[in-house]
């Protein structure tokens, strides 16, 4: 994933992945696990399939090769995301405009209140209160100001 910028009404908009520190740490931990455990395990499985005589295109060798390829693609994606990511520090954010890294308190029409931290899609976990900026609510909150009323369509 390359960092790109586009022109939008004489304003440059960065398309870099914005991560919170916690999100970057989670991606680093996943990358380390894949490099230290996932890749070696997939390699062992592939070598075992070939050693057992199934290396001539049999199902086990094919599955093992596919699993190794999947691990390698995920490693490459994580490395790219971490290399180009912009780490957002909540202390440096403008308090007047909601952005990635902000904690927002949301009260639904029925009175149910919930608190979320707005995060990039790669670190989203709504059950843990980490709301993706690509979600309908997350995207509606971006750029708003504290106290704004946001109306989402019901589907």
Going by C-alpha positions, the residue among 114, 115, 120, 116 that lies closest to residue 88 is: 120
Beta-bridged to residue 117, according to DSSP, are 103, 130
The answer to whether 131 and 116 have CB atoms below 8 angstroms apart is: yes
pLDDT for 144 beyond 70: yes
For 47, how many CA atoms within 13 A lie in the half-sphere containing its CB?
6
Beta strands in 52-151 (DSSP E): 86-88, 103-107, 113-119, 130-132
Q: Tens digit of pLDDT for each residue in 80-134?
A: 999 999 888 777 777 888 888 888 888 877 788 889 999 998 889 988 999 999 9
Q: Tens digit of pLDDT for each residue in 5-19?
A: 334 444 444 567 889
Where is pLDDT greater, at 146 or 79? 79
């Amino acid at each position: 994933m390359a960092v790109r910028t586009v022109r939008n009404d004489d304003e440059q908009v960065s398309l870099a992945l914005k991560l919170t520190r916690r999100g970057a740490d989670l991606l680093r931990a996943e990358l380390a696990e894949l490099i230290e455990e996932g890749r070696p395990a997939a390699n062992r499985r592939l070598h075992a399939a070939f050693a057992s005589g199934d290396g001539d295109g049999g199902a086990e060798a094919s599955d093992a090769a596919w699993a190794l390829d999947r691990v390698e693609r995920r490693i490459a994606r994580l490395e790219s995301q971490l290399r180009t990511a912009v780490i957002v520090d909540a202390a440096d954010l403008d308090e007047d405009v909601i952005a990635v890294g902000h904690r927002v308190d949301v009260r639904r029409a029925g009175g149910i209140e919930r608190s979320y931290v707005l995060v990039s899609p790669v670190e989203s976990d709504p059950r843990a209160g980490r709301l993706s900026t690509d979600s309908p609510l997350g995207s509606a909150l971006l750029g708003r100001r504290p106290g704004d009323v946001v109306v989402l369509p019901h589907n």
